[in-house]
Amino acid sequence: MLKRYRWLVATSAVAVVSVVAVPSGASAYKRWKARDARTKMANFLHDARAGEHSPEVLSELAASRAEAEPEEGEAEGDDPLRRQIAARMMWGVPTAEVLEHRSRVAHAEAKRWARMLPRPPAAWDWLKAPAATNKAVVSGLSWVNLGPTNANFQYNGTLYNEVDSGRVSGIAVHPADPQVVYLSTSGGGLWKTFNFGVAAPTWHPVSESLGNLAIGALDLDPSHPDTLYVGTGDFVDTPGGHVVKTEDGGATWSAPVRLTGQYPAGSGGRAVKALRIRAVKADPANASIVLAGTDVGLFRSTDGGASFTLVDLPNSAAPQRPENVWNIAHTGAVDGVSRWVISGVYACDAASLPPDPSVGQVANVDCTSGNPGDIWTSTDAGATWSSRRAAGTLPSTAVGRITLAAGTPSGAVPPVTVVYAQLGNQDEYNGPAGAGYWRSPDSGNSWTAINGTLANRTNSSTDCTTVNVNSAQAWYNAALAVDPANNNNVLAGGMLCGLRTTNGLAASPTWENVAHWLPSGGGASVTGGTLDYVHADWQQARIVRTGTGYVAMAGTDGGLYVSTNLFSGTPTQVVWNGQNRGIVTHLSYSVASGDPATGNPYLAYTGLQDNGTRFRDPAAGAASTTFNQVIGGDGFGATAARDTASGSTIYWASVNGSRRFCVPTAANSFCNSGTAWTTRNASTVVGCTGGDAQPFLIRYAAATASPSVNTVLTLTDYGVHRISGTSTTWQAISPCLTGFTRLISTSANHDGVYGVAMSGGRFYVTSNCQGTTTACTWTRSSILGFDVNGNGSITLDEQVSYTTQVAFPPTTPAGRNLGDVYVAASAAPQALDGLTVVPDALGHLFITQDRGATWAPLHGNGTGADLPNVGINAVKYDPSDLTNNTLYVGTELGVYRTTDGGQTWHRFGNGLPLVSVTDMFISRTGAMMRVGTYGRGLWEIYPSATAEKGVSGNGDWNRDQQLDFEDLAAAASRLGTDPSTTARPYYDWNTDMTGAVNGTDSADLTELLNRIGGRP
């Protein structure tokens, strides 16, 4: 089964390689080792320059990530802790100042390119003249979302028929119309449906221009159901720290409000800025009051979210100390004044902040008591609070993260509300395991342990064998809900399973497994049959009463699942239905693509966080947004290579530190299955100081310019490796490189020209690696940066790190040698000093003319058409432009293009949200581009009107989720347009609903007329 347990146990010590000055005595040694381990992990996860440590430290961390590979046919498990480490090593840890800067840039870009973003335009604005600032935009180019929107099957050790989407962070249901449901996600923003309850609801994205689609929390104001609040900043991945409000159901949004404050002197006096919002609650009794629970404490608004004030929560120890907040639950109101209960964890001392949830705290080392989780109550609408730990009303169990769920307040005065708590042990040394359940009969004032008994263990040796379903990832996955009509009915979710109890008010409740992450693998068998499927890693749970009964909802790393018979029948009769078709919120790390020039333009697949490797169903051709899961676990790298001599294609993918490949044949469904993928890992480079190792986040690059061999490149921690065709071994084509490898790039026009992004802000480049030679000469660059101030020196705040990719020009400039000139990108949150937000004058894109000895900026000439100053994940030259003037970059806010060699830049294409682009593919002729995004799946664009038709539009031109006269007028005005149209009104993908070519014609108009009055 899953190997992640073994790794989590092994890395609780974070690979302490050498032991010095060990204190005497076993208990002393435990404390010393635990402190040393936690310090290393904490420093790594919190350090803004964590990815830029010395090679020795990185080697140690890499060694700690080593994990046994699953045996053939075994299920793959995702691993959020390893994923978090890898992400921070690759992209850094943004500070609050970085997030403030990024928010300002995103807001400016949203205004600057408003007409190009997927937001509802003003009525009839297609007849208006284009804005002056957008006249240079190449018009008529529309991005098409490829999905994944659907799956015919999934494979993870075994085959099963399910459809998953991205990680859910919040669920909100309209109180008067349960068909209207909102879903917030960790990277794909906010989604809305008007027909919840049908087998496959139609979902619509309603937050495309926010600039940060990582939503950490969501709530709907029950007194004004079109008013919603979202808190940006996922609790473990992309940070944020803003609250944004909509008063019209997501059609328009307020300016983001930053959550900042200062603790009083008695609690350390520390100024704090939230990065991750874990809970948002609108007061049902007073629309002016909004509460927000964050990684740095509780914030309260008394003006409907226009501003927030930090609320200092009392602790059980002196002196007072800062705290974070995990959950907020409403427990009724008295005379119009709400009562609340919240949970959180406080820091070890007044000078510190609470640790990252994945780090934990060690009893008697970091804190005198360890696991300082607490529960607070308020009877004055959240203005003041009381600590239940200080009051002595909590059980003695040491806990960290606490997940709360409140029942319906009673009719008594004051109201009495039953509240349940799901517990996680945050003691890092003992492992972040589940710690049971508590129950409060009196609105959170007093608590009793109710662990009870598990009535139906699974037949697996590891899955769901105790009531602690949050298990070894209690810091990461937890979900709890109470039936609003019956306080006995409780739903709990965790890492691999879901539980229910129907006698939660009993002194010792009986819990039963009612869902499993992989029933087809055989581990879901319990007495009476097999449990139904719900994706692993539960994040949210809701139970909603309707006029016809109830709906139980589970929000997981794989999307939303609902049950209408959760509390009736036996556990094996409980049915869960996925509601994920059409929700494109997948966190994509890569995009692998075919090419029109090689005859396979419809081939596309990607590696997805939490959702494996998804392969575009080959049967449906250009119209397909169906992607089947062919490998489970965390999917990362993906590339499609082609042997120009034999014509054969080889597909490469990676999962959790392992490389896979597949050669398509009719016998293996052309790789559209899970059984045809073979493991082939690269050997480590010999002689590296501290030893080479396999990265967790494995990436690839295809050498498309190779004339006769099907060449793919990959990286180990310190080396570059190449494989041709289906060779049994990878070739090491580099020595041990200084620094830590990040991404590998190849020239699309020149064989044997490769570049490697490295830690420390440097690159390695070779230009003599043609054919099958391994005698390649590698040149190490200087650190990215230049003398911004012109004072004759380059200081740390004039340099950047967190390198991402290089791009080689199609033509070698006159007077230069092959490989001398290349463009380099960075995703750095801060300058190399680790403190300064990267200045606009420095930027994130650079060019060298001397193989990296010196650098010059390439973000624009300062005339108002510069690149937005945010991180860049991908950079590519257009291989068809032999003048070297056309470059594309994939930024944290979308795709930008220059056609004058970097002097000016413009947002490229219509309809792409403000979303982080993680990977980019450009066809050999420049006629097709595909990108992977971190939260909105895969997208493609066809600059040529003669190119193959992309996905058909849905007719909803103004993106208001209703097919009406405005859509009809837009389509009618665009009759005869195609992507080459250069006069207004321009071609728009959404009006091109049918047909085999790119263009809006009478058939599209007829199709729209047939659908008028409905939803798209």
Interval 431-460: pLDDT, tens: 678 999 999 999 999 999 999 999 999 988
pLDDT, mean of residues 348-369: 71
Helix (H) or strand (E) segment spanning residue 741 = strand 741-746
Which residues are 930's β-sheet partners?
Answer: 921, 940
Q: What is the pLDDT of residues 754-773, one digit of tens each?
A: 999 999 999 999 999 998 88
For residue 312, what are its two tokens?
């200092």
For residue 472, what are its two tokens?
């070894």
Pairing of strands 453-454, 510-516: parallel
Among 283, 285, 388, 404, smallest CA distance to 334 is for: 285
Crossing angle of helices 80-91 and 26-46, rounded to 10°: 50
Give the per-residue pLDDT at 122: 38
For residue 593, what are its two tokens?
């693509």
Annotate 18-54 with DSSP letters as a single string.
---SPPSSHHHHHHHHHHHHHHHHHHHHH-TTGGGS-
- Residue 322 or 19, more confident: 322
State whether residue 873 is helix, strand or coil.
strand
pTM: 0.88
Q: Could you give phi then psi for residue 278, rounded to 5 degrees?
A: -100, -20
Cβ neighbours, 10 Å, residue 786: 18
pLDDT, mean of residues 496-509: 97
Q: How many residues does the chain have?
A: 1016
Report cis status (omega within 30 of 0) of the bond before 148.
yes
Which residues are 799's β-sheet partners?
Answer: 785
Rg of the chain (C-alpha set): 28
* Pair 627, 605: CB distance under 8 Å: yes
**Letter string b/e over residues 787-799, b meaning 16 or more CB atoms within 10 A of that residue's CB:** ebeeeeebebbbb
What is the C-alpha separation between 401 and 166, in angstroms, rounded?
23
- Residue 129 or 820, more confident: 820
Give the per-residue pLDDT at 33: 37
What is the C-alpha separation between 754 and 732, in angstroms, rounded?
14
What is the C-alpha separation between 467 and 751, in angstroms, rounded?
58
What is the C-alpha separation between 531 and 534, in angstroms, rounded?
9
Whether the per-residue pLDDT at 482 is higher than 70: the answer is yes
Q: What is the pLDDT of residues 383-431, one digit of tens each?
A: 999 999 999 999 987 788 999 999 999 988 889 999 999 999 876 556 6
Q: What is the pLDDT of residues 777-813, one digit of tens each?
A: 999 999 999 999 999 999 999 999 999 999 999 999 9
Amino acid at 126: W
What is the C-alpha separation between 249 and 205, in angstroms, rounded?
11
* Pair 895, 920: CB distance under 8 Å: yes
What is the C-alpha separation between 158 and 172, in angstroms, rounded?
34
What is the C-alpha separation between 455 and 469, in angstroms, rounded?
13
Whether the per-residue pLDDT at 944 is higher than 60: the answer is no
Residues 6+ apart with CB under 8 A from 977: 140, 985, 986, 987, 988, 999, 1000
What is the C-alpha separation between 878 and 810, in angstroms, rounded?
8
- Residue 92 or 868, more confident: 868
Residue matched to tokens 């040529």: 944
What is the C-alpha separation between 742 and 752, in angstroms, rounded?
19
For residue 678, what are its two tokens?
């073979």
- Residue 15 or 380, more confident: 380
Give the per-residue pLDDT at 93: 84
Please report which confidence band the pLDDT of residue 947 belongs to, taking 50, 70 and 90 as the band edges: low
Whether the per-residue pLDDT at 372 is higher than 70: the answer is yes
Cβ neighbours, 10 Å, residue 620: 13
Cβ neighbours, 10 Å, residue 200: 15
Calculated CA dihedral for residues 15, 19, 23, 24, nearest 10 degrees: 100
Sheet (strand 741-746) strand order: 741-746, 754-758, 763-766, 779-780
Q: Report the mean per-residue pLDDT for the chain.
A: 86
Give the per-residue pLDDT at 644: 62
Residues 6+ apart with CB under 8 A from 280: 170, 217, 218, 219, 229, 230, 231, 243, 290, 291, 292, 293, 328
State whether residue 687 is helix, strand or coil.
coil
What is the C-alpha separation between 558 and 541, in angstroms, rounded?
13
- What is the CA 1 to chain-centroid distance, rounded? 25
Among 918, 935, 913, 938, smallest CA distance to 589 is for: 918
What is the C-alpha separation between 880 and 704, in angstroms, rounded?
14
Residue matched to tokens 């000895």: 853
What is the C-alpha separation between 716 and 985, in angstroms, rounded?
50
Angle (CA) 126-128-132 rounded to 5° is 115
Please report which confidence band the pLDDT of residue 943 belongs to, taking 50, 70 and 90 as the band edges: low
CA atoms within 13 A on the CB side of 643: 16
Among 144, 256, 194, 121, smallest CA distance to 936 is for: 144
Please report which confidence band the pLDDT of residue 997 belongs to, taking 50, 70 and 90 as the band edges: confident
Whether the per-residue pLDDT at 919 is higher than 90: the answer is yes
What is the C-alpha separation between 373 and 435, in angstroms, rounded?
12
Amino acid at 71: E
* Pair 498, 467: CB distance under 8 Å: no
What is the C-alpha separation between 323 and 345, in angstroms, rounded?
6
What is the C-alpha separation between 907 and 4, in angstroms, rounded?
41
* Pair 14, 37: CB distance under 8 Å: yes
Whether the per-residue pLDDT at 21 is higher than 60: the answer is no
Give the per-residue pLDDT at 962: 76
Give the per-residue pLDDT at 361: 65
Among 307, 937, 909, smallest CA distance to 584 is for: 937
SS (H, E, C) 332-378: EEECCEEEEEEEEEECCCCCCCCCCCCCCECECCCECCCCEEEEEEE
Report cis status (omega within 30 of 0) of the bond before 395.
no
Sheet (strand 604-608) strand order: 159-160, 154-155, 627-631, 612-616, 604-608, 592-593
The DSSP 8-state label assigned to residue 519 in this structure reads G
Residue matched to tokens 């209703």: 962
Annotate 5-21 with DSSP letters as a single string.
HHHHHHGGGT------S
Whether the per-residue pLDDT at 131 is higher than 60: the answer is no
**Letter string b/e over residues 744-777, b meaning 16 or more CB atoms within 10 A of that residue's CB:** bbbbbbbbbbbbbbbbbbbbbbbbebbeeeeebe
Give the per-residue pLDDT at 431: 67
